[in-house]
């Protein structure tokens, strides 16, 4: 009985298509090398709140952190790029929690005033896309909001 388990393991390991002793190598001929080092991005899209209503203007903002720092935030409304926003706003609440692991966390905020005066009335979606200095991306949202004139 002891040998049955051993034979079963050997059969499974040597079965057609088994990946025995094979490794992926980045220096193998034809292998693609990636220069982007993925890193986690923390953050939040705090405003607008889901379901909120904007009339002429509205506050858009949040915070973002990455080990290498945040290069910029890209803002999209209804899947259309609107603008870039820099991360430099004071966020002592974020700094209190993350400053040990993320130097400068107290300056991780970003905000701007969104002009919706020329947008159509109705439902819209906002997405913020953070980009780290190493080229990693993370999306926050979508956050649904309404425009009413």
Its pTM stands at 0.74
15 backbone φψ class: left, alpha, beta (φ>0; ψ -120 to 50): beta
pLDDT < 70 stretches in the chain: 1-37
Say what the pLDDT of residue 38 is: 83
Say what the pLDDT of residue 19 is: 36
Cis peptide before 100 (omega within 30 of 0): no
Q: Parallel, antiparallel, or unpaired: how do β-strands 122-132 and 137-147 relate?
A: antiparallel
Say what the pLDDT of residue 103 is: 86
- Rounded to whole angstroms, how far apart are CA atoms 102 and 69? 8
CA distances from 56 to 26, 136, 141 (A): 53, 34, 22
**Second CATH level (architecture) for the domain 41-147:** Sandwich (2.60)
Say what the pLDDT of residue 21 is: 35
Q: Return the closest-CA partner of residue 65 out of 147, 120, 8, 133.
A: 133
The β-bridge partners of 70 are: 132
Cis peptide before 132 (omega within 30 of 0): no
Say what the pLDDT of residue 147 is: 97
Q: Report the alpha-carbon angle 82-84-85, nearest 5.
A: 125
């Amino acid at each position: 009985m002891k040998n049955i388990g051993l034979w079963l393991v050997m059969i499974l390991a040597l079965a057609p298509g088994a990946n025995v002793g094979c490794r992926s190598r980045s220096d193998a001929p034809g292998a693609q090398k990636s220069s982007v080092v993925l890193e986690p991005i923390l953050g939040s899209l705090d405003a607008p709140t889901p379901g909120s209503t904007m009339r002429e203007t509205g506050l858009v903002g949040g915070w973002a952190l990455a080990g290498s720092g945040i290069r910029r935030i890209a803002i999209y409304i209804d899947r259309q790029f609107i603008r870039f926003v820099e991360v430099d706003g004071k966020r002592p609440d974020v700094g209190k929690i993350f400053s040990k692991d993320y130097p400068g966390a107290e300056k991780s905020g970003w905000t701007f005033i969104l002009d919706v005066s020329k947008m159509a009335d109705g439902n819209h979606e906002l997405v913020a896309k953070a980009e780290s200095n190493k080229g990693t991306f993370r999306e926050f949202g979508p956050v649904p909001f309404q425009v009413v004139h």
